[in-house]
Amino acid sequence: MKMNTPQIFAMLLLFAATISCKQQKKDTVDKKAAEQSLKVADETTNTSIELVKLEGSPAYEDATLELQSLSDGTIAKGGEAKFDFMVSDYELGAQTDGPNAELLANSGKGQHIHFILNNQPYSAHYEPTFSKEIPDGVHHLVAFLSRSYHESVKNENSMVVKKLEVGENPVDSNGLDMDAPTLIYSRPKGEYLGADTKRLLLDFFVLNTTLSEDGNKVRATINGEEFVITEWAPHIIIGLPMGEVIIQLELIDSQGNPIPGPFNKVVRTVTLKS
């Protein structure tokens, strides 16, 4: 059957509309799948705190972080010290791909380095070279690569762990054993607003040990509710109320006993605002 020009135009419009509807349906399904993977609950029905493993982040298995300065870990005197890192197979300042960047609190400045001294709250750095105020004494430094939504990159080469000795006669007030099992807190941190309050990233580092069902574990106590983590993996906290949230992390052995160490029990408070 021969069609005239108006008929051909109408069929083309119908075809384009069909393709558009299919794409919109696919996008909707993809978004729902991403949200389901995080077990996002409706605010009117979710009345308890849940801890869910976060999945779907790019692995960055080849990403590396190296500290080129302070190779021997000594600093002549307390004050401003320069840290010069080298980053490979990882782009500082870039936005991390994937759905998690939209579902979690995300830095508009992109991927960065978390710099943690003596298990205190981290500072974020978007350039590989920066200066920090370091007081006299003996300090435990952990630095690692972070995705734009603050999830740490976890591979053998994505972190730097170093003992810093600052000043003429540095005093070790922490009783550091750099080879002992150690827990380092990363997230949550600070204040969360609006949509960012729905899903908080729980992330940490474990050094010189592994986590397992029948071995060492991390016990997370969130607003009084207790969770035991048996895998070194990021998690999402959902179902939190507005206001102050108190988070305690502990490194424990297979029997649930605390593992000795100056950083193996840490308490942080974050604030959620609507």
The separation between the first and the last C-alpha atoms of the chain, rounded to the nearest angstrom, is: 62
Residue 108 maps to a domain = yes
Identify the domain containing residue 82 by its residue range.
Answer: 53-273
User: Given this model, what pLDDT does residue 184 score?
Assistant: 98
The verdict on residue 236 lying in a domain is: yes
Mean pLDDT per 10-residue interval, the chain, length 274 residues = 49 46 39 47 58 97 97 96 98 97 97 98 98 98 98 97 97 96 98 98 98 98 98 98 98 98 98 97
Considering the entire predicted model, what is its pTM?
0.84
What is the reported pLDDT for 4? 52
In a domain, 239, yes or no: yes
32 belongs to a structural domain: no
State how many domains the chain has: 1
Evaluate whether residue 20 is within a structural domain: no
For residue 119, what is the domain's CATH number?
A: 2.60.40.10
136 inside domain? yes
Give the pLDDT of residue 28.
Answer: 36
Q: 255 and 214 in contact (C-beta within 8 Å)?
A: no
Question: Cβ distance 54 to 99 under 8 Å?
Answer: no
Tell me the pairing of strands 225-229 and 235-238. Answer: unpaired
- Environment class of 155 (CB within 10 Å of its CB; exposed 0-12, middle 13-18, buried 19+): middle
